[in-house]
Structure 1
Amino acid sequence: MSSTAPGLRAVLAKALPVGLSVLLLAGVLSGCSQGASSTPAPPKDGSPSGVETSASAAASSPVPDDAWRRWGLDKPLAPSPAPPVKKLTDELKPGTVPPVVKSVRTDDKVVFLTFDDGAEKDPEFVKMAKELKLPFTMFLTDDIARAGAGYGYFDQLRSLGNAVQNHTLSHPNLRTLSPEDQRREICGQQDRLAKRYGARPPLFRPPYGNYNNATLAAAGGCGVRAVVLWEATMQINDMRYARGDKLHAGDIVLAHFRGPKELKGTTMTRMVINMLRSIQAQGFTVARLDDYV
């Protein structure tokens, strides 16, 4: 615009009174300057366009006060309590065989949501997780998570502060594999997640909950700090419990990234709302497993 300004100034000077021509010219120049500066720069970190890359970016977004109602809850989720000063894995000595964790010892009225595999990639679940500020942990299997939209989908959930943990490369029954093949499954996914996210995950979940001593040895050798199982499993409308017929403080809840085909027509968001309603009815809220383990 600077190279054409003299010619434009001359035209305005001939056609209009001096004062008005100066005002119009100033407005044109200002508009061009603002248009140039409003063009967004490409992401510097190589992240996909439109995908938030940090939990702080997500937290800064306004959350509608009635989000809980729009998603089908009868009341808001109670806030997660402050996490403990020390996590379980902080107290483990180097070289310790990773403990198997089904629940967390805590006096907090909390349970922990975990989602496995990565088959269903419902964009509505991303929206719901963001609006409800829902804390959970993802245990991803590489060949399942890579299908379709791939890890980019889970990057969006991770940007909300939810960690990605290890669930093997191909989801085998580890007890049927040799120690070396188990190591390949566990360490292989550790390496892939470390390459993508910059660190080896500290938590590992064996497919089907099946493991043996060779599994624990392989996991420990791959940098795993704890092997995570569960005390409750989410079905479609409600949960099944390993201890009695109810949740207990610190229980780990197993769910999956599943869609209408697996859920008999129910969406993943509806399944999760059913789970949250049951958790609330039993007097609990949810917290992030990674903050405790």
Structure 2
Amino acid sequence: MRRARARGLAGAVLASALLLTGCAQSVDPIERLGKKAAEGVRPHRPALPTAYRHWGLTAPLPAPPHPAARTLALGTPPRVVDRVPTRDRVVFLTYDDGAGRDPRFADMVRELRLPVTLFLAAPGHGDPARLHRLGAGLQNGAPAGRRAEICGRQRHLTARLGTRPRLLRPLGGGYDPSALRAAADCGITALVLSRATLTPAGALTYTHGPHRLRPGDIVQIDSAPPLPDRTAAVLRGAQGEGLTPAHLEDYL
């Protein structure tokens, strides 16, 4: 009896020592996932095995390289980018608020584990929170030169969706030095334009040549329906160039 009590006491002392020295590791997967999220680590979630066929692709989407090969230093004033110079063979799919209004697009993002970024000009439209839960990045889509609107959008997204944007897509695409100063005042580190744009008519237009997707290109996809079909067309074009989508936030 005394031996059993002594063994129990010794075990309790050992467990306490392990906890105090940090040697005890949590076996709770939810806790580990929370720690990864806090550290900014995206947990790897493979796409459903045959989902690519359902969405009109001829092959699965390869996972982007991890960690990302970054080549840009961001700071003040914010950088203006329409592509990311990187050796990774990736492209970046970006959308406006309208993407949150299409439930089939949310299904596409979920099944393909598709990395996308939404630039929100009117956060009340659609359901961006659902896309965010599926891994989509949510960034600012305010007018570039209006400090009050940029900062107001920052506060709104932080309070409502729990994410504080670092990137801004200026409405209309225009900006000047005063716009960069206003963005910097609100915590923006980069103004994001696009190298290629998918128009409502389904044509992929380029700001300058060559007229094909290249590694690091930022693609702006208009949210006109049917959005999943239009996105699949861009993905097929990317696959034809040996490219795969990646999270823009991993590179900027």
Scaled to the shorter chain, the TM-score interval is: 0.7 to 0.9
Query: Shift of residue 117 of structure 1?
Result: 3.2
Query: Shift of residue 109 of structure 1?
Result: 1.0
Structure 1 runs, 4 residues or longer, greater than 2 Å off: 83-88, 117-120, 197-200, 235-238, 256-259
Q: Deviations over 1:39-79 (max 9, x none)?
A: xxxxxxxxxxxxxxxx76x94xx853211011111111121
> Residues 190-201 of structure 1: matches in 2 within 5 Å?
190-201=154-165
Query: What amino acid sits opposite 2:118 in the alignment?
Result: M
Query: What amino acid sits opposite 1:255 in the alignment?
Result: I
Q: Deviations over 1:5-50 (max 9, x none)?
A: xxxxxxxxxxxxxxxxxxxxxxxxxxxxxxxxxxxxxxxxxxxxxx
Gaps of 5+ in 1: 1-54, 260-266
> Residues 235-274 of structure 1: matches in 2 within 5 Å?
235=199, 236-242=201-207, 243-259=209-225, 267-274=226-233
> Residues 9-20 of structure 1: matches in 2 within 5 Å?
none
Instruction: Report the secondary structure of 2:213's partner residue.
Output: coil
Q: Deviations over 1:191-244 (max 9, x none)?
A: 101112334210001012111111111000011011111100012434112222
Query: What amino acid sits opposite 1:160 in the alignment?
Result: L
**How does the TM-score come out when normalised to structure 1?**
0.66
Distance 1:106 1:120 in 2: 29
Gaps of 5+ in 2: 1-41
Query: Shift of residue 138 of structure 1?
Result: 0.7
Aligned residues: 209
What residue is the counterpart of 1:97 in the other structure? 77
Structure 1 residue 113 and structure 2 residue 93: aligned? Answer: yes
Instruction: Report the secondary structure of 1:118's partner residue.
Output: helix
Q: Deviations over 1:127-159 (max 9, x none)?
A: 1111011001110112xx414xx4xx2111111
C-alpha RMSD of matched pairs (Å): 2.2
What residue is the counterpart of 1:124 in the other structure? 104
What residue is the counterpart of 2:62 in the other structure? 78
Distance 1:120 1:86 in 2: 29
Instruction: Report the secondary structure of 2:96's partner residue.
Output: strand
**Which is worse superposed, 277-286 or 191-200?**
191-200
The change in CA–CA distance for 1:137 and 1:157 in structure 2 (over 3 A counts) is: same
What residue is the counterpart of 2:134 in the other structure? 160
Q: What is the aligned counterpart of 2:150 among 165, 179, 186?
A: 186
Distance 2:193 2:84 in 1: 11
Is the CA contact 2:116–2:247 (under 8 Å) kept in the aligned structure 1? yes
Is the CA contact 2:74–2:190 (under 8 Å) kept in the aligned structure 1? no
**How does the TM-score come out when normalised to structure 2?**
0.76
Q: Rg bigger for which structure?
A: 1
> Residues 154-233 of structure 1: matches in 2 within 5 Å?
154-168=128-142, 174=144, 182-233=146-197
Query: What amino acid sits opposite 2:166 in the alignment?
Result: P
Query: What amino acid sits opposite 2:67 in the alignment?
Result: P
Query: Shift of residue 246 of structure 1?
Result: 1.0
Distance 1:132 1:201 in 2: 24
Is the CA contact 2:64–2:244 (under 8 Å) kept in the aligned structure 1? yes
Query: What amino acid sits opposite 1:281 in the alignment?
Result: G
Work out the percentage of aligned pairs sharing the same amino acid. Answer: 42
Instruction: Report the secondary structure of 2:220's partner residue.
Output: strand
The change in CA–CA distance for 1:237 and 1:74 in structure 2 (over 3 A counts) is: farther
Is the CA contact 2:100–2:131 (under 8 Å) kept in the aligned structure 1? no
Is the CA contact 1:117–1:256 (under 8 Å) kept in the aligned structure 2? no
Instruction: Report the secondary structure of 2:92's partner residue.
Output: strand
